[in-house]
């Protein structure tokens, strides 16, 4: 503590000089004027020297001499018990134990119990994959804005590139759980008639590739809950599985595919209009299915225990495993998509 701050008037040596000058007969006022400090400061250091000697002229610790009494370990344990077992709020615990709310809140924060979400253990990750194609198909819808000119994602500015009143497009997707074969359409809305029509188109598309759909998983949207949608599934003897409310991760394979769709198709290239973007969906889906099948042929998923890689290579339209792309999947997708777009232009 012998490192005074840069604005300190007196150092340990200066304090010793003050004591020496007082001992030599100078008055406190004269010494205070010489060192540019107050008389009170001179007398303070003189009193400390007389009480403790030269050691008393050193800097003291800035910690307070007295602190408020800390809560005992038993009280802290009781606060944690009331929080964990009875799930009481900080205010209720403070009222029950007769403590200040700030004190209870501080100890709850120190114990990691400030949020109620911390009281419950994290839900374990559940991963699954069906054994054969068609055993389960994931359906979902993504809403995309229409545009007549490139927006801020392309121009990098929000000035002069707004598309007010352009409307919305709805991308309906269907993804096979076992082999990730995907089908999609851009439609005008997400009503029950449109959604049921997309279901029939998707079933025909999978059937044309030798896949008979047995189950369909969707969220709890009104179109998927409609009687017309349920009737079609019942007539086709297809089981309908709904995800748990407010748990979209149950339909995670469709959600993950939509993220890939947005990154590599919707936002991956600079389209002049939304109509040009929508027209490019068929090309991108064909490329995605071929690449996905090729990558699965190169490196089969250890969770997949049904069809062998060479038995599913024909499902994406005849992808040749011998012409497989090298490197990581993400880098291969970006490079292949860019080359295909340039050749098309």
pLDDT in tens, 210-238: 999 999 999 999 999 999 999 999 999 99
Strand 168-176 to strand 182-187: parallel, antiparallel, or no bridges (unpaired)? antiparallel
CA atoms within 13 A on the CB side of 135: 13
Q: Is pLDDT of 320 > 50?
A: no
Q: Is pLDDT of 259 > 70?
A: yes
**CA–CA separation, 216 and 130 (whole Å):** 12
Q: How confident is the model at residue 209 (pLDDT cuts 50, 70, 90)?
A: very high
Q: Is pLDDT of 1 > 70?
A: no
What is the model's pLDDT at position 2?
55
**CA–CA separation, 114 and 89 (whole Å):** 9
Q: Is pLDDT of 79 > 80?
A: yes
Q: How confident is the model at residue 313 (pLDDT cuts 50, 70, 90)?
A: very low
Q: Is pLDDT of 5 > 70?
A: no
**CA–CA separation, 130 and 135 (whole Å):** 6
Instruction: Give the other-Cβ count within 10 Å of 57's Cβ.
Output: 20
Q: How confident is the model at residue 62 (pLDDT cuts 50, 70, 90)?
A: confident
Q: For residue range 10-58, list pLDDT tens digits in order.
A: 888 899 999 999 999 999 999 999 999 999 999 999 999 999 998 888 8
With a pLDDT cut of 70, the percent of the chain lying above it is 84
Higher pLDDT, 215 or 343: 215
For the segment 5-9, the average pLDDT, to the nearest whole number, is 69
What is the model's pLDDT at position 185?
97
For the segment 169-189, the average pLDDT, to the nearest whole number, is 95
Residues 6+ apart with CB under 8 A from 149: 161, 163, 272, 273
Given a contact cutoff of 8 angstroms between Cβ atoms, the answer to whether 194 and 188 are in contact is yes
With a pLDDT cut of 90, the percent of the chain lying above it is 57
For the segment 257-270, the average pLDDT, to the nearest whole number, is 92
What is the model's pLDDT at position 314?
46
Given a contact cutoff of 8 angstroms between Cβ atoms, the answer to whether 161 and 149 are in contact is yes
Phi, psi dihedral angles at 303 (to 5 degrees): -75, -20
Q: How confident is the model at residue 336 (pLDDT cuts 50, 70, 90)?
A: low
Counting every residue, how long is the chain? 345
Cα–Cα–Cα angle for 89, 92, 97, nearest 5°? 125
Q: Is 0.95 surpassed by the pTM of this model?
A: no
Q: How confident is the model at residue 6 (pLDDT cuts 50, 70, 90)?
A: low
Class of the domain covering 137-298: alpha beta
DSSP assignment of 182-236 equals EEEEEES--SHHHHHHHHHHHHHHHHHTT----EEEE---TTTTSHHHHHHHHHT
Q: How confident is the model at residue 331 (pLDDT cuts 50, 70, 90)?
A: low
> Token pair for residue 64?
């307070």
Q: Is pLDDT of 122 > 50?
A: yes
**CA–CA separation, 313 and 14 (whole Å):** 88
Q: Is pLDDT of 80 > 70?
A: yes
> Mean pLDDT for the chain?
84
Strand 215-218 to strand 239-242: parallel, antiparallel, or no bridges (unpaired)? parallel
> Token pair for residue 16?
């010793």
Strands, sheet with 137-145, edge to edge from the N-terminal-most edge strand:
182-187, 168-176, 137-145, 215-218, 239-242
Q: State how far Cα 186 lies from the chain centre.
A: 28
**Matching residue, tokens 């392309």:** 154
**CA–CA separation, 256 and 173 (whole Å):** 11
Q: Is pLDDT of 130 > 50?
A: yes
């Amino acid at each position: 503590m012998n490192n005074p701050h840069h604005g300190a008037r007196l150092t340990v040596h200066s304090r010793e000089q003050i004591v020496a000058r007082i001992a030599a007969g100078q008055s406190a006022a004269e010494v205070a004027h010489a060192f540019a400090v107050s008389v009170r400061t001179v007398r303070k250091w003189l009193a400390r020297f007389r009480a403790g000697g030269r050691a008393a002229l050193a800097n003291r610790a800035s910690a307070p001499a007295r602190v408020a009494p800390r809560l005992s370990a038993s009280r802290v344990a009781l606060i944690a018990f009331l929080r964990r077992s009875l799930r009481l709020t900080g205010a209720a615990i403070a009222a029950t134990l007769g403590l200040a709310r700030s004190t209870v809140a501080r100890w709850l924060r120190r114990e990691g119990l400030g949020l109620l979400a911390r009281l419950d253990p994290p839900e374990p990750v559940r991963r699954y994959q069906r054994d054969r194609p068609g055993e389960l198909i994931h359906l979902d819808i993504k809403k995309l804005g229409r545009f007549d000119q490139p927006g801020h994602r392309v121009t990098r500015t929000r000035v002069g590139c707004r598309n007010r009143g352009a409307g919305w497009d709805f991308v309906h997707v269907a993804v096979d759980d076992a082999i990730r074969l995907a089908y999609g359409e851009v439609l005008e809305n997400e009503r029950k008639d449109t959604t049921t029509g997309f279901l029939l188109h998707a079933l025909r598309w999978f059937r044309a590739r030798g896949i008979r759909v047995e189950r369909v998983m969707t969220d709890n949207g009104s179109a998927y809950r409609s009687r017309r949608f349920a009737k079609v599934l019942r007539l086709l003897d297809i089981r309908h599985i709904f995800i748990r409310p407010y748990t979209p991760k149950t339909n995670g394979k469709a959600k993950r595919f939509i993220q890939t769709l947005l990154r590599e198709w919707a936002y991956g290239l600079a389209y002049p209009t939304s109509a040009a973007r929508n027209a490019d969906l068929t090309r991108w889906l064909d490329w995605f299915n071929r690449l996905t099948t090729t990558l699965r042929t190169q490196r089969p998923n250890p969770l997949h225990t049904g069809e062998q890689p060479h038995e599913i290579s024909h499902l994406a339209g005849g992808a040749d495993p011998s012409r497989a792309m090298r490197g990581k999947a993400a880098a291969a997708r970006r490079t292949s998509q860019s080359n295909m777009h340039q050749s098309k232009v």
